[in-house]
Amino acid sequence: MAKVREVMDKFGNKHTYNEGMEGVLATTSEICHINGKEGKLIYRGIPIEELAEKSTFEETSYFLLYGELPTRKELDDFDARLKANRALPQEVLSIMKQMPSQSNTMQFLRTVVSLLGLYETKSDEHTVIETSHEAEKLIAVFPTIVAAIQRLREGKEPIAPDNSLGHAANLIYMVNGEKPDEFAARVLDICLILHAEHGFNASTFTSRVVISTLTDVHSAITAAIGSLRGPLHGGANEGVMHLLNEIGSLDKVEEIIKIKLETKAKIMGFGHRVYKVLDPRARILSQYSERLAQITGNETYYAMSKKIEDIMKREVGDRGIYPNVDFFSASVYHYLGFKLESYTPIFAVSRISGWAAHVMEQLRENRLFRPSSVYLGDIDRKYISISER
Ligand SMILES: CC(C)(COP(=O)(O)OP(=O)(O)OC[C@H]1O[C@@H](n2cnc3c(N)ncnc32)[C@H](O)[C@@H]1OP(=O)(O)O)[C@@H](O)C(=O)NCCC(=O)NCCS
């Protein structure tokens, strides 16, 4: 239920508004539908489960951007364009090497995308076609940026993309210098499919608001990255890992979760503005977390996650608070060998496709976003000159 507030302004008018714009319709869209009561998610009509099973991130990205599943030739051409745009311009790489490598990885990513805009933005006329070219380039280069940031943090030289590898496998390769096995690459590919799009979430809405001014794509995506960073949004996957590390062992789960609930602390990776049942993406990720736990022989993170899920279901399930996409993605990324500070940037590697699809959709039938608020400030104040204050 939306938290609807009723307020009286100082002009004597009564207003109602939905806190956090919950349930407020901003425009129409054909990209994604979330059924929060039944826990169903579709991208352009296709259930997420089917895409996770049968598609690849590259194909899903094409589908999100252009609205149709690609033919073999269209997919091959799209794939070739992505591969051709994976490398970072040398100038950008040189500047990245001078940036504070220990800074927050999302801030780093945001800054690099903004920097890329200086090289890529050719004019201030942004057609949907031009925007799609820019968007493809961004989808292609995001893994290279994220991997380079991680390596610079570790005092290592960034690794150039390997075009014999798919999008997901290449990301793993550029982070650790080793080509992943097929299963690890496929699991990351599925993670990227699952995180690619999710309707009018905060970062996607941000990208649409920014592009609605008819500014450039890099500005819209830079703003979206800033929004995704927050712990109430994409940053929650790192919060989950902090929680798992804080708990540390299976026997401490019950006690620590109970204390947190008693003190009204939020459990990261749980709850959702739209889903009031289990997020369908969490169901899929939970299965992969379990399989990776078995393969790696490191069951603790999955076992702790599962126990937290059970306790939360028992304690707050009746309030519609269930695992969201971030909950099991934390242990999956851990098992895939990613460092904690890469988790939210990996989310961005995927979500760039959704942002781009929304930016293009917004441009097709644009009207500037400009909502209103209820003014509750003073209405009859005298100006006091500075010498008298
Ligand atoms: C995602 C989220 C921001 C949605 O929030 P929202 O729709 O604004 O809902 P609210 O924050 O108003 O929460 C509603 C109630 O549920 C509780 N709640 C929501 N998420 C909770 C969580 N993860 N742990 C414990 N309690 C939670 C709130 O404390 C609040 O209780 P109250 O009514 O007694 O004050 C919220 O669930 C959250 O902060 N989750 C943790 C962060 C997270 O995982 N984010 C990723 C989302 S994909």
User: Is residue 21 in contact with ligand 1, taking CB distance under 6 Å?
Assistant: no
Same domain, 286 and 359: no
Ligand 1 centre from 271 Cα, in Å? 5
- Strands 32-35 and 40-43 come out as antiparallel
Whose C-alpha lies nearest to ligand 1, atom 45?
232
Q: What are phi and psi of 161, to 5 degrees?
A: -60, 150
User: Is residue 354 in contact with ligand 1, taking CB distance under 6 Å?
Assistant: no
Taking 90 as the threshold, does the pLDDT of residue 127 lie above it?
no
Residues facing 5 on adjacent strands: 17
| Domain, as residue range, for 252 | 236-335
The DSSP output letter for 16 is E
The DSSP output letter for 270 is B
How large is the angle between the packed helices 300-316 and 236-247, nearest 10 degrees? 100
User: Is residue 312 in contact with ligand 1, taking CB distance under 6 Å?
Assistant: no
Same domain, 161 and 39: yes
Ligand 1 centre from 348 Cα, in Å? 22
Ligand 1 atom having least distance to the Cα of 261: 25
CATH number at residue 255: 1.10.230.10
Ligand 1 atom having least distance to the Cα of 198: 48
d(CA 115, CA 68): 32
- pLDDT of 194 reads 98
Span 172-186, average pLDDT: 97
User: Is residue 276 in contact with ligand 1, taking CB distance under 6 Å?
Assistant: no
Same domain, 324 and 272: yes
Ligand 1 centre from 321 Cα, in Å? 8
- pLDDT of 59 reads 98
Q: Could you read off the pLDDT of 29-82 as tens digits, one per residue?
A: 999 999 999 999 999 999 999 999 999 999 999 999 999 999 999 999 999 999
Is residue 17 in some structural domain? no
- Strands 4-8 and 40-43 come out as unpaired
Taking 80 as the threshold, does the pLDDT of residue 122 lie above it?
no
Same domain, 295 and 174: no
d(CA 44, CA 381): 52
User: Is residue 20 in contact with ligand 1, taking CB distance under 6 Å?
Assistant: yes
User: Considering only CA atoms, which of 56, 62, 32, 53 is closest in space to residue 44?
Assistant: 32
Q: What are phi and psi of 125, to 5 degrees?
A: -95, 110
Same domain, 281 and 223: no
User: Considering only CA atoms, which of 322, 268, 328 is closest in space to residue 37?
Assistant: 322
Ligand 1 centre from 265 Cα, in Å? 10
Buried b (16+ CB within 10 A) or exposed e, 252-263: ebeebbeebbee
d(CA 191, CA 189): 5
d(CA 265, CA 248): 18
Domains of the chain: total: 2
Span 229-234, average pLDDT: 94
